[in-house]
Amino acid sequence: MDARYKSREIERRSLDVDGLKRSFLEWLVYSVGKDARAATRRDWFHTVALAVRDRLVDRWMDTTRTYYQQDAKRVYYLSLEFLIGRLLTNSLANLGITDQCRQALDRIGLNLDDVVEAEPDAALGNGGLGRLAACFLDSMASEALPGYGYGIRYEFGLFEQRFEHGWQVEYPEQWLQFGNPWEFPRPEVLYPVQFYGRVEEFRDSVGERAYRWVDAERVLAMAYDTPVVGYGGDTINTLRLWSARATRDFNFGHFNDGAYMKAVEQKVLTENLSRVLYPNDATEGGKELRLKQEYFFTSASLQDILRRYLQHHSNFDSLPDKAAIQLNDTHPAIGIAELMRLLVDQHGVLWDKAWDITRATFSYTNHTLLPEALEAWPVRMMERVLPRHMQIIYEINAKFLNRSKARAAGDNARLSRLSLIDERGDRRVRMGNLAFLGSHKVNGVSALHTELMKQTVFADFHAEFPERINNKTNGITPRRWLHQANQPLAALITSRIGNGWIKDLGQIKALAEKADDLVFREEFRRAKRKNKKRLAAYIARQTGVDVQVDSLFDVQVKRMHEYKRQLLNILQAIALYNEMRDNPTVSWVPVTKIFAGKAAPSYHMAKLIIKLINDVAKVVNHDPSVHDNLKIVLLPNYNVTAAEIIMPAADLSEQISTAGMEASGTGNMKLALNGALTIGTLDGANVEIREHVGDDNIFIFGLTAEEVNDLRASGGFNPREVIASNPSLKRALDMISTGVFSPDDPHRYHPILQALTDGGDHFLVTADFAEYCEAQQEAMDLYRDQEEWTRKAILNTANMGWFSSDRTIMEYATEIWDVHPVKPEHPAETEG
Ligand code: CJB
């Protein structure tokens, strides 16, 4: 081999400062095509990303090859969303070369932190569900599990949120505008995906009735692969995202007719399939394009999974021993009908056998009980878009209903609830029922949510299949959410207990005994203060508001949703504001209320709540009579990168959903791990957080899920009475209704007031208000005693080990997937 080439080969792998520096300079010129004097920050980001990417490719290939050679059982995580965020810091940290990279850049006169800022967020998700998928990718790679993510390579990720006159305005998020250095396009990995057309019946070679899907429109799915670096860099898995491409023959037809422009138009329309992420969180859109997106990525993924399987096998008998497919919510649930179609129609497998294989291969995670989020596609749309799948669904349904216990008992009401088809009104396919029936395991995402699944949406299915529902409480990756995002605290922890916690978060428990150590508490506070300073600077940059670093940072960051009750929080802020103005001589604990979160563009109530927070903030922040004791900020464009700044800096974590409505929450875990105390209802994973951190170290208030249920069922709840009997609530609402916060439009908030009164206050904001205010008071009182507060904060961090997504993923691996760790073989490194 040419000596220069050979030396470059070695260079590509070198992890020391000199090697990195030489790579950077070479990449800048030969790949980015810039001279060091002309290079922008973005050029340097691309340079560094490409050089870092070099250092993981060998191990990535080793990982893939090892899985292939061992014919290991793989798990395929099918998700319409992967909310990844930035990858540079993550790759550096997981490869263990952050310091070397920092020094190498330093020698070129650059700062790593600046370079990192040039990376756009990969915002291919809405919120919790998408971020969970990203944490799971990290954990699968870190646990050496052969795991693949499959999804869509949206050209436009989640919209960028800006505030104009306090209102949310959405702008397109063009994350791919300047190219994506992390992805490898695979133009040769292409699968056809069909839509529309009709089904033809025919007799197969042995005279059996068979079906084929004809006259359909065809789109191609093209793969883009992104390496997923596990902690330590040993295992590097793959995230494969599909992009829509028009087929060539499709275009040529028009071209020959001379209708060139029409052909091009068609091509653009076809490729719209992977253009944009639907911005609805926990509400189904019901739009045909969404159904097509779901089928598009699911079909391509299944074809890819079968191709990989067939490299080692000649029939499908052992598919369930080699592939576990996890459905992240019902979005990919059409995959159940698609696998049946591929097995029966394309590979000639008999129906019953195909059904056994399908059920043994799939499992399904439910992420919400909200009725508006349960996908149900109109039968008429499904018949048109996916005619063969509709037939298959009917067939699955008929066979199931025929055999069900409900039928045996003659219970028709139950039978119709079990049906895959909702026959009320315009007929719909219930995707949750399909996912349940086609899976061997169905899980909820917190203990409470799983119980409620058994009692509510899936009560009938649970009676039919009592073994199927199981719980897998969510988790978060400690790499991104503590090691990378909170360096001051991570360094402090490592200085005391070593760095084993990064990989095995249970070890963090050893900090508990340090809670009584005065010196440690001082250092813990110092780390928190550093993070708060960073957040204060960020707030000033983003909103122009100056906040006191030593005030209580009270944080509610999550999607804007009525059930999450940002409204409860802002009402309490108004009440506190009034108290401060009424009692100017009291020495108040200074409070900074920090909100962030996007609303779905069509969710008017959530957008109105955003405007209310901004309006209240404007009045409060400019009122000299509260002496800076209260500040309210709503940070724009909440995303993973913003979360990385906010989570480490929080003192108080707001987890105040109406009990029974938040399936789990994961922000609650990030905040507690970073030493925030939770103020929350007994909802989702808050229940388990309380069990772990201890009742004394969390502020729990409000109705329980059971009480909420009873109150709603009794029909006796009267919000007007509650308001009338609570002067501080009444005053806050009166201020809103008389235009104190909206003098330009005093009636602006009528819909909110209406919902809280005549509307019956479905989310029970008024019902929980008094107890919430008491819990807030308790938090403020405790905050005066900084030693005691810090002690509890340390106990929160120390007791959050169980909430690592490594624990969650290993539970999935052993209890659902039967997938085992596989250590990659690295021949290149042992060859010498
Ligand atoms: N969730 O983010 C979403 N989108 C949905 O459409 C449905 C649920 C959230 O999933 C998270 C991960 O399981 C949960 O922690 C959260 O409670 C839930 O709202």
453 and 492: one domain?
no
Residue having the nearest C-alpha atom to atom 12 of ligand 1 = 129
Would the CB of 281 count as within 6 Å of ligand 1? yes
642 and 751: one domain?
yes
Would the CB of 367 count as within 6 Å of ligand 1? yes
Residue 367 bears catalytic tag: yes
pLDDT (tens digit per residue) in 357-385: 999 999 999 999 998 889 999 999 999 99
Q: 598: CA distance to ligand 1 center in Å? A: 14
239 and 161: one domain?
yes
Instruction: Select which of 666, 681, 790, 808 is catalytic.
Output: 666
Under the banding of pLDDT at 50, 70 and 90, the label for residue 6 is low
Give the nearest ligand 1 atom to 373 CA: 6
Residue having the nearest C-alpha atom to atom 15 of ligand 1 = 665
Residue type, 607: K
Count the alpha carbons within 13 Å of 303 in the hemisphere toward its beta carbon. 18
Residue with tokens 């084929």: 212
Under the banding of pLDDT at 50, 70 and 90, the label for residue 1 is very low
CATH number of residue 236's parent domain: 3.40.50.2000
54 and 182: one domain?
no
Residue 561 bears catalytic tag: no
Would the CB of 474 count as within 6 Å of ligand 1? yes
CA-to-CA separations, 825 to 61, 63, 813, 830, in angstroms, rounded: 10, 7, 21, 9
Under the banding of pLDDT at 50, 70 and 90, the label for residue 284 is confident
Would the CB of 665 count as within 6 Å of ligand 1? yes
Please answer whether residues 414 and 462 qualify as being in contact, where contact means their C-beta atoms are separated by less than 8 angstroms: no
Number of domains making up the chain: 3
Q: What is the mean pLDDT of residues 712-720?
A: 93
Q: What are phi and psi of 466, to 5 degrees?
A: -65, -15
3-state secondary structure of 172: coil
Mutate to test the pocket of ligand 1, among 136, 158, 366, 368 (most ligand atoms within 8 A of CB): 368
454 and 399: one domain?
yes
Instruction: Select which of 389, 528, 559, 792 is catalytic.
Output: 559
Under the banding of pLDDT at 50, 70 and 90, the label for residue 716 is confident
Residue type, 614: N
21 and 46: one domain?
yes
This complex has an ipTM of: 0.98
Would the CB of 684 count as within 6 Å of ligand 1? yes
408 and 556: one domain?
no
Q: Do the domain assignments include residue 318? A: yes
As a whole number of angstroms, the distance between CA 239 and CA 715 comes to 49
Give the nearest ligand 1 atom to 130 CA: 2
76 and 37: one domain?
no
Under the banding of pLDDT at 50, 70 and 90, the label for residue 286 is confident
Give the nearest ligand 1 atom to 559 CA: 2
Q: 128: CA distance to ligand 1 center in Å? A: 5
Under the banding of pLDDT at 50, 70 and 90, the label for residue 493 is very high
As a whole number of angstroms, the distance between CA 760 and CA 762 comes to 6
Q: 367: CA distance to ligand 1 center in Å? A: 5
Under the banding of pLDDT at 50, 70 and 90, the label for residue 227 is very high
Would the CB of 129 count as within 6 Å of ligand 1? yes
3-state secondary structure of 128: helix
Q: Do the domain assignments include residue 828? A: no
Give the end of a domain, one of 419, 446, 472. Answer: 472
Which residues are bridge partners to 198 per DSSP?
214
Instruction: Select which of 428, 528, 558, 807 is catalytic.
Output: 558
Would the CB of 445 count as within 6 Å of ligand 1? yes
343 and 313: one domain?
yes
As a whole number of angstroms, the distance between CA 384 and CA 375 comes to 18
24 and 146: one domain?
no
DSSP single-letter state for residue 233: S
Q: Do the domain assignments include residue 820? A: no
As a whole number of angstroms, the distance between CA 469 and CA 94 comes to 34
3-state secondary structure of 362: strand
Would the CB of 368 count as within 6 Å of ligand 1? yes
Residue 455 makes CB contacts below 8 A (sequence gap 6+) with none
Residue 503 bears catalytic tag: no
In our burial notation (b when 16+ CB lie closer than 10 A, e otherwise), range 174-194 reads ebeeeebbbbeeeeebebebb
Q: Do the domain assignments include residue 825? A: no
Q: Which range of residues forms the domain containing residue 578? A: 486-814
468 and 614: one domain?
no
Residue having the nearest C-alpha atom to atom 5 of ligand 1 = 282
Under the banding of pLDDT at 50, 70 and 90, the label for residue 261 is confident
Would the CB of 279 count as within 6 Å of ligand 1? no
Query: 256 versus 166: which is more confidently predicted?
Result: 166
State residue 254's pLDDT score: 58
Q: 61: CA distance to ligand 1 center in Å? A: 33
Residue having the nearest C-alpha atom to atom 1 of ligand 1 = 129
Give the nearest ligand 1 atom to 280 CA: 6
Q: Do the domain assignments include residue 478? A: no
State residue 82's pLDDT score: 98
Give the nearest ligand 1 atom to 367 CA: 8
pLDDT surpasses 90 at 103 = yes
State residue 228's pLDDT score: 98
Q: 126: CA distance to ligand 1 center in Å? A: 9
C-alpha of 396 from chain center:
31
717 and 774: one domain?
yes
Would the CB of 132 count as within 6 Å of ligand 1? yes
As a whole number of angstroms, the distance between CA 806 and CA 476 comes to 8
Beta pairing class for 147-152 and 217-229: unpaired
Give the nearest ligand 1 atom to 449 CA: 17
pLDDT surpasses 80 at 623 = yes
Give the nearest ligand 1 atom to 474 CA: 13
Instruction: Select which of 21, 59, 367, 472 is catalytic.
Output: 367
Q: 325: CA distance to ligand 1 center in Å? A: 19
State residue 308's pLDDT score: 98
pLDDT surpasses 90 at 259 = no
Would the CB of 128 count as within 6 Å of ligand 1? yes
Residue having the nearest C-alpha atom to atom 3 of ligand 1 = 129
pLDDT (tens digit per residue) in 33-92: 999 999 999 999 999 999 999 999 999 999 999 999 999 999 999 999 999 999 999 999
Please answer whether residues 427 and 379 qualify as being in contact, where contact means their C-beta atoms are separated by less than 8 angstroms: yes
The number of beta carbons lying within 10 Å of the beta carbon of residue 100 is 19
pLDDT surpasses 80 at 669 = yes
pLDDT (tens digit per residue) in 398-420: 999 999 987 888 999 999 999 99
Residue 472 bears catalytic tag: no
Three-state SS string across 671-734, please?
Answer: HHHCCCEEEECCCCCHHHHHHHHCHHHCEECCCCHHHHHHHHHHCCCCHHHHHHCCHHHHHHHH
Total residues found in the chain within this entry? 832
Backbone φ/ψ region at 251: left (φ over 0), alpha (ψ -120 to 50), beta: alpha
Instruction: Select which of 528, 598, 670, 792 is catalytic.
Output: 670
Residue 55 bears catalytic tag: no
Give the nearest ligand 1 atom to 663 CA: 17
Mutate to test the pocket of ligand 1, among 80, 82, 367, 369 (most ligand atoms within 8 A of CB): 367
Nearest to 598 by CA among 165, 284, 160, 276: 160
As a whole number of angstroms, the distance between CA 654 and CA 667 comes to 9
Please give the mean pLDDT across all residues of the chain.
96
Q: Do the domain assignments include residue 503? A: yes
Under the banding of pLDDT at 50, 70 and 90, the label for residue 5 is low
pLDDT (tens digit per residue) in 138-161: 999 999 999 999 999 999 999 999
Q: Do the domain assignments include residue 232? A: yes
As a whole number of angstroms, the distance between CA 36 and CA 817 comes to 50
Secondary element (H or E) of residue 24? helix 17-27
Three-state SS string across 328-347, please?
Answer: ECCCCCHHHHHHHHHHHHHC
Residue 262 bears catalytic tag: no
pLDDT surpasses 60 at 435 = yes
Q: Do the domain assignments include residue 100? A: no
pLDDT (tens digit per residue) in 698-707: 999 999 999 9
Under the banding of pLDDT at 50, 70 and 90, the label for residue 281 is confident
